[in-house]
Amino acid sequence: MRRDRLGARGEKSKMYPTRSFASPKSRRKRFCSGVEGGELLRQLDGVIAPVRWGSLRRTRPLSVRWGSDRGTAIDRVYINRFFERHSNYIQGVLLEVQGPVYSERYGSNITKTEILDIDPRNMLATIVADLNDRDVLPKEMFDCVVVPQTIQYLTDQVTGLKNLYDSIKPGGVLLVTAPFIQKIDHNGEDADRMRFSPLALKELIETSCDGAEIEVESFGNVLTSIAFLMGISAEEMRPEDFDVFDPAYPMLVTARVRRPS
């Protein structure tokens, strides 16, 4: 029974006025009315193949958990690539946010790892501190500071990055990843507040980290970005989908920030 046209007993619904179901073509015609629209339609009809939406014709995602309940979240492919590429820096005395995920996966010759979190319930945290407050970290202590997907939660990113930068030794490195195209974190108790273009991250680091050598990169393309928003997992993609980088559609932005010796 078509519930949108007929009520439960086959009567016309009082809640929803009866709609006529126009064909996609006539709906498109109505949408593109007017002189400019008419011209556009003529061009489209001859040249552009119709979109085959398939299972993507939906206004809710396939997963609201970044695809992690279907497999590996797509941004993690890029985050792993970034830390793997910089694994030579992940050594000595380390600081990582939340848990030793990337330091354990990509680090070597580690002498000590401190874990930072604002959340006192995190039993792995050895430093419980709010990065928005100045001077909450020990100075010049770490060879490498690993900060995945955290700066979007800060209210004061400049102070947060100053704290992190000041905590690395001369010659040490801060490795940061941040989202540009990503759904809001609904678990973050309304703390997920920012997205970073490559330029915005570069300017933020230039403002926050005096004299730093900065290398900002980005990862992603329109396909992986759409798939990530839809909650499709990495396993549902083709490996080569991740190899195309389109600077107009950066999903993930990264920075290697080196403190000169």
Ligand X SMILES: C[S@@+](CC[C@H](N)C(=O)[O-])C[C@H]1O[C@@H](n2cnc3c(N)ncnc32)[C@H](O)[C@@H]1O
Residues of this chain that interact with ligand X (CB under 6 A) are 97-99, 101, 116-119, 130-132, 148-150, 153-154, 191
Q: How far is the CB of 156 from ligand X (least distance, A)?
A: 9
CA–CA separation, 161 vs 106, rounded Å? 23
Shortest distance (Å) from residue 248 CB to ligand X: 25
- The nearer residue to ligand X, 56 or 64, going by C-beta atoms, is 64
- Residue 95 per-residue DSSP state: E
94 or 97, CB closer to ligand X? 97
Give bridge partners of residue 257 from the DSSP assignment. Answer: 174, 214
- CA atoms 94, 97, 100, 106: torsion sign: negative
C-beta of 187: minimal distance to ligand X in Å? 9
From residue 35, alpha-carbon distances to 31, 32, 41, 48, 222 in Å are: 12, 9, 10, 19, 31
Nearer to ligand X, 6 or 127 (CB): 127
The CB-of-147 to ligand X minimum distance in angstroms stands at: 8
Closest separation in Å from C-beta 67 to ligand X: 14
Helices (H), the chain: 24-31, 35-47, 74-85, 101-106, 157-166, 198-208, 222-230
Q: Cβ closer to ligand X: 130 or 236?
A: 130
* The two structure tokens encoding residue 220: 């992603």
- How far is the CA of 61 from the CAs of 66, 246, 255, in angstroms? 9, 23, 29
Burial grade of 9 (CB within 10 A; 0-12, 13-18, 19 or more): exposed
CB-CB contact of 231 with 65 (8 Å): yes
Closer residue to ligand X in complex, CB, 116/252:
116
> Which of 39, 119 has the CB closer to ligand X?
119
CA angle 160, 78, 62 (to 5 degrees): 100
Q: How far is the CB of 98 from ligand X (least distance, A)?
A: 3
Q: How far is the CB of 148 from ligand X (least distance, A)?
A: 4
* Nearest residue (CB) to ligand X, 150 versus 218: 150
29: phi then psi, degrees, rounded to nearest 5: -60, -45
